[in-house]
Amino acid sequence: MLNYSVSEENYIKAIFHLQQQDGTVTTNELAGELNTRPASVTDMMKKLKAKKLVHYQPYRGFRLSAEGSKVALGIIRRHRLWEYFLAEKLKFSWDEVHAVAEELEHVSSKKLIEKLDEFLGYPKADPHGDPIPDVNGKIEHYSYQCLASLPANKLVVVSHVSNQSNEILDLLKHKKISIGTKLEIKRRFDFDDSMEIKIGRQPVFTISKQVAENIFVKIN
Amino acid sequence: MLNYSVSEENYIKAIFHLQQQDGTVTTNELAGELNTRPASVTDMMKKLKAKKLVHYQPYRGFRLSAEGSKVALGIIRRHRLWEYFLAEKLKFSWDEVHAVAEELEHVSSKKLIEKLDEFLGYPKADPHGDPIPDVNGKIEHYSYQCLASLPANKLVVVSHVSNQSNEILDLLKHKKISIGTKLEIKRRFDFDDSMEIKIGRQPVFTISKQVAENIFVKIN
DNA sequence: AAATTATTTTAGGCAAAGCTAAAATAATTT
DNA sequence: AAATTATTTTAGCTTTGCCTAAAATAATTT
């Protein structure tokens, strides 16, 4: 496996995360994610395309190639192992681990990561509950839970919507619920299984049983 | 304290080590140490001078300023703590730790290093026996003696190896000499300054002058 | 369908850190 | 003291990764 620059790795990782949601990633999206300019993204996409890490046609967006995904999973593996180390061994608090792991993940020694993994006892997930890919880049997929099945007072992240109809998407769009939205379940009503939900600091609103049954979440 | 680039840090560290021996460091020496060209060294010296990290007059060599030394000791602290971590926790062999620590030392989080130090139990020296500077850059100096300078029939403890090259570490690993090893000097030969050494009840073996010059010991 | 707006790419530059070749300075021989 | 040799610096070029402004293309309105 070749070696990539810190910059290249950051682009690859960002594309990986963005394409989880969107399938294909746009120049502006990626520029936003990386706090850089669209022109810089175009430059880097040309480079990554030349290295066969992304599929890219001008003006048409891009996504990782198989090889690119493998590289991304390697970076994510390193990141999450370091996060686990920082939280578990060095007693960093949950919100501090990410920034430091962003630096550590670029240290490229393969042996370091294998030894670290062993030292940590082969953890399955990082402190945020995100699964840690194995040496071969295999990642356990999330077992999403149906929002309708959860009790009150849970903080969750929307991860999947199991219904592609215009009707539900229209409703979700109106309620400003999309993939990645953080929801807090405030109350459940036994009468009709409706739920009161809060997003950030916005006012509480209600969703019906039928809606909740189609939303799948990761518990935070 | 400001932040420096990986390149700047590598120059600062190299100057620190070279000036231990020479007092003042020359362009060619530093270029040799860093596997770079004299012209590149001159460029960097101008930059480090502008940042008041070195004293430098064209053609007259250079040395670290007080501030430069403080920065150097910070880098050395990080390097040695990581070396200790790699050897002690991840069970790296001592000839492998240096290369990986070279990468880890540039991760700049202050909190990371303080937490790591605590986790490791505030070690005093790295796996090669080099003392670890404290948070304030204070470093303990031991008065070790060079093995090459000692007469026969001495019982000594290996405390420091003044050469991090793979070549010597490979040799020492093969001869089973590491920090803390008890050696008995059985004979010295004036012809080539080689020595016969015994470890415990193992058979006597010979080491060359070049090796003995890099081993520093405490007399038992 | 044309016009307007938004997005993306191109063109041309900049800073960091390296390089080679030539010029300047210092050190050593003769 | 002059000549030669060695060292160091300067000048100018390269690559990486970023930038701004202008041009090209796509998407949306009218």
By the CB < 8 Å criterion, does A103 face chain B?
Answer: yes
**pLDDT at position A173:** 80
DSSP B180: T
Q: What is residue A128's predicted lDDT score, i.e. its pLDDT?
A: 67
Smallest CA-to-CA distance from B132 within B157, B94, B99, B160 is with B160
pLDDT-based confidence at residue B149 (cuts at 50, 70, 90)? very high
pLDDT band, residue B180 (cuts 50/70/90) = confident
Regarding beta strands B54-56 and B62-64, do their DSSP bridges make them parallel or antiparallel, or are they unpaired? antiparallel
How many beta-carbon pairs under 8 angstroms link A with B? 45
The answer to whether strand D lies under 7 Å from the CB of residue A46 is no
Overall fold of domain B145-219: SH3 type barrels. (2.30.30)
Euclidean distance between CA atoms A48 and A12, whole angstroms: 9
Which of B199, B162, B194, B196 has the alpha carbon at shortest distance from B180? B199
Residues A154 and A186: their CA atoms lie apart, in Å, by: 8
Query: Cβ contact (<8 Å) for B108 and A103?
Result: yes
Ranges for all domains in chain A classified under CATH 1.10.10.10 = 6-64
Q: Give the mean model confidence (pLDDT) for residues B22-43.
A: 96
Higher pLDDT, B171 or A159: B171
Question: What is the reported pLDDT for B141?
Answer: 83
Architecture of domain A6-64: Orthogonal Bundle (1.10)
- C-alpha span between B96 and B169 (Å, rounded): 9
B45 touches strand D (CB under 7 A): yes
Asked if residue B32 lies in contact with residue B18, where contact means CB atoms within 8 angstroms, the answer is no
Average pLDDT over residues B36-52: 98
Cβ distance B119 to A92 less than 8 Å, yes or no, reads no
Torsion sign (Cα): A118, A121, A124, A128: negative
B120 touches A: beta carbon within 8 Å: no
Q: How many CA atoms lie within 13 A of B191 on its CB side?
A: 1
Contact B14, B20 (CB under 8 A): no
Mutual angle of helices B38-50 and B6-22, in 10-degree steps: 100
Judged by CB atoms closer than 8 Å, whether chains meet at B116 and A90 is answered as yes
- Structure-token pair, residue B84: 């200790």
Say which residue, B119 or B2, is predicted with more confidence.
B119
Q: What number is the average pLDDT over the span B93-101?
A: 92
Query: What six digits make up the tokens of A6?
Result: 């810190």
Residue with structure tokens 């010059």? B213
Q: Is the pLDDT of residue B58 over 90?
A: yes
- Nearest residue on chain A to B91, alpha-carbon basis: A115
Q: Is the CB of B74 under 7 A from strand D?
A: no
**Nearest CA of chain A to the CA of B97: how many Å?**
10
Task: Collect all residues of chain B within an 8 Å Cβ-Cβ radius of residue A103.
Answer: 107-109
pLDDT averages per 10-residue partition of chain A, 220 residues: 94 96 92 98 98 97 97 98 96 83 96 98 82 94 86 87 72 83 93 94 94 88
- Give the HSE-up count for residue A205: Cα atoms under 13 Å, Cβ half-sphere: 15
What average pLDDT does the segment B190-212 reach?
Answer: 95
pLDDT above 70: percentage of residues in chain B: 100
A55: three-class secondary structure by DSSP: strand
**What's the confidence (pLDDT) of residue B219?**
84
The reported pLDDT for the residue numbered B22 is: 78
Closest-CA distance, A11 to chain B, in angstroms, reads 20
- Across the strands, what pairs with B205? B197
What pLDDT does residue B106 have? 98
Q: What is the pLDDT of residue B72?
A: 98
CB of A96 within 8 Å of any CB in chain B?
yes
Neighbouring residues of A62: CB distance < 8 A, sequence distance ≥ 6? A15, A24, A25, A45, A48, A49, A54, A55, A56
* Coil, strand or helix at B126: coil
Indicate yes or no: strand C within 7 A of the C-beta of B26.
no
| Contact residues on chain A for B91, CB-CB shorter than 8 A | 115, 119
- In chain A, residues with a C-beta closer than 8 Å to the C-beta of B116 are 90
**Alpha-carbon gap, residue B45 to A103, rounded angstroms:** 27
- CA of residue A30 to C1' of nucleotide C5, angstroms: 21
Rounded CA-CA distance B157/B181 in Å is: 6
Identify the residue with better confidence: B219 or B6. B6
- Min Cα distance B123 → chain A (Å) is 15
Binned at pLDDT 50, 70 and 90, residue B94 comes out as confident
Residue B202 confidence (pLDDT) above 80: yes
Give the contacts of B24 (CB within 8 A, at least 6 positions apart): B61, B62, B63
DSSP 8-state secondary structure symbol assigned to residue A154: E
How many C-beta atoms lie closer than 10 Å to residue B41's C-beta? 24
Q: Nearest C-alpha of chain B: how many angstroms from A98?
A: 12
| Rounded CA separation B48/B50 (Å) | 5
CATH 2.30.30.90 domain extents, chain B: 145-219
Distance CA A51, CA A106 (A): 19
Do B76 and B106 contact (CB within 8 A), yes or no? no
pLDDT at A169: 72
Global ipTM: 0.84
Q: Which of A27, A20, A29, A19 is nearest to A44 (CA)?
A: A27
Distance CA B207, CA B220 (A): 20
